[in-house]
Structure 1
Amino acid sequence: MSDPDIRRYRTVFLSDIHLGTRGCQADMLLDFIKHMECDQLYLVGDIVDGWKMKSGWYWPQSHNDVVQKILRLARKGVTVTYVPGNHDDRIRDFCGVHFGGVVVARDAIHETADGRRFLVTHGDEFDGVVQHAKWLAFLGDWAYRTLLAANTLTNRLRRRLGFGYWSFSAFLKQRVKNALQFIENFEQAVADEARRRGVDGVICGHIHKAEMREIDGITYINDGDWVESCTALVEHPDGRLEILEWSKISHAALLPRVDRPALAAEPIAA
């Protein structure tokens, strides 16, 4: 008899997990993985935060657990494709290589059950700051991590008061005009690339803003992140695509967060 709490999907897309940072919502992600089954899993970049790990080591047991869960899915027959992003760009040197059943690819073309074709890419190549002013990207990353620290403190207090998860950083992002203009420009650039590739749409991450909309005949989908919105893109057996905001679904949003020290750091070597 199947478990009624398990959600069955054809494909799952996850990005911007940022393992190795304090802002990573690893417990929430583990809860999502526990309650889903899929045939294909795409890791759409910034899974491990190499930028942060250059300045200090942070790797609690929950981050090990995420890596181990993903490798276990691959061992059980799930097709796992890792499309690196800018924070884990070193992994791009291993495109075409398999690690524990996980294949690394620069990008990918995914065909849904209803025959639509999507370009799967992290999206940092369409971010002018990352490509042409990397020092500014590093500065922005430091400011963003500071904001996430405030986000963590806010939610620690909310849990003690019995409230669910709420993203302070996402709230601010929605209200800053320059951020909204950057997001709009990014979405247009990614959609233009999908059109150039001759596909029906694009699935990406990078900007930490889950979205699904049409842009001049191209289906633009961003699967969000696991530091702010805790979102995933899922494909149902009939090809229907849906963005899940797990923080609004999971009881883990109300649980106190406990970061246990890691027993071993081997999984990050992959």
Structure 2
Amino acid sequence: MPKVRSVFLSDIHLGTRACQAERLLDFLRLHPAENIFLIGDIIDFWAMRRGICWTPAQNTVVQKVLRRARHGERVVFIPGNHDEALRDYCGVAFGDIEVADELIHQAADGKRYLLIHGDQFDQVTRHHRWVALLGDQAYELLVRLNLWLSWLRRKLGMPGYWSLAGYAKRKVKTALNFIFDFEESAIRHARERGLDGVICGHIHWAALREIEGLRYVNCGDWVDSCTAIVEHFDGRLELVTWDAATSHPVSPTVDDVVEV
């Protein structure tokens, strides 16, 4: 697969049973890039307090990213709320990896994007931390149940992949957006900064679309949906959804996705 200019990843949640590191390794292998932007919740310190699950594949993800940084790819790590302990080290470089609270990225077409995890726009995470922690545990339970459900579907010969966690998110997405206005808050912040858009994560809901003349881009996650954003050398952004069976991209299945 040809080299891309930039890869944007968020919500990998290393250290958890739900992390789909094998699929991420396939994606990284086929997407060499000039820049890798890790936009928060890469390591899940919240879940690791309850119990660590660190697989060989997760270890290989870390090694691969470090190797690519050593070989000249720019790697920037922007901590999220699950790895917020690393925000104390913003402005510091660990080896060849930069740590930043946020970053302004200028794409090849001149568009300027704010790279930020996004918990800053989540009123629950900011003001009701206990609710966020409870929701995190509920989401982890759904993902674990989905592992058993996937096994059962395979045994019954049912084709395709169906996500219980994704189904739950679709059911509550409209209500959550109405109450907390996450996407609108992100776009408003980018507009106030005089930027062309925002690239974030946090809500595990991949998107690539225009909102009020600006670009709202969400990387999604590598727990349930396995999605990433890539920038091509002409500045075009693309949402990639990685398929477990073929280790190739598949057509996006999220709402309101456009290529820009």
- TM-score norm. by structure 2 comes to 0.90
- Alpha-carbon distance in 2 for matches of 1:82, 1:252: 25
Q: What residue number does 1:238 align with?
A: 234
- Check if 1:125 corresponds to 2:120: yes
Change (3 A) 1:41 1:246: same
Shift of 1:168: 2.1
- Alpha-carbon distance in 2 for matches of 1:27, 1:183: 35
Change (3 A) 1:123 1:146: same
Q: Which has the higher contact order (CA 8 A, sep 6+)?
A: 1
* Matching residue within 93, 96, 102 for 2:91: 96
- Check if 1:143 corresponds to 2:112: no
- TM-score norm. by structure 1 comes to 0.87
- Alpha-carbon distance in 1 for matches of 2:6, 2:66: 16
Long gaps (5+) in structure 2: 250-260
* Matching residue within 80, 83, 106 for 1:85: 80
- Alpha-carbon distance in 1 for matches of 2:111, 2:231: 12
Shift of 1:60: 1.1
Long gaps (5+) in structure 1: 1-5, 254-270
Q: Deviations over 1:45-103 (max 9, x none)?
A: 00000001111121111110111111011011000000000000001010011113110
Q: What residue number does 1:155 align with?
A: 150
Q: Is the 8 A contact 1:173 1:180 kept in 2?
A: no
Q: Which letter maps to 2:13? A: H
Q: What residue number does 1:48 align with?
A: 43
- Alpha-carbon distance in 2 for matches of 1:201, 1:10: 18
* Matching residue within 9, 12, 17 for 2:7: 12
- Alpha-carbon distance in 2 for matches of 1:135, 1:67: 30
- Check if 1:171 corresponds to 2:167: yes
SS at match of 1:10: strand
Q: Which letter maps to 1:118? A: Y
Shift of 1:248: 6.9
- Check if 1:196 corresponds to 2:192: yes
- Alpha-carbon distance in 1 for matches of 2:173, 2:75: 37
Change (3 A) 1:157 1:101: farther
> In the TM superposition, what are the counterparts of 1:32-43 in structure 2 within 5 Å?
32-43=27-38
Shift of 1:212: 1.2
- Alpha-carbon distance in 2 for matches of 1:107, 1:248: 31
Shift of 1:250: 3.6
Q: CA RMSD in A?
A: 1.9
Q: Deviations over 1:116-166 (max 9, x none)?
A: 000000000111111111111111111110011012222234455484443
* Percentage of pairs with the same residue: 52
Range moving further from structure 2, 113-122 or 144-153? 144-153
- Alpha-carbon distance in 1 for matches of 2:154, 2:230: 28
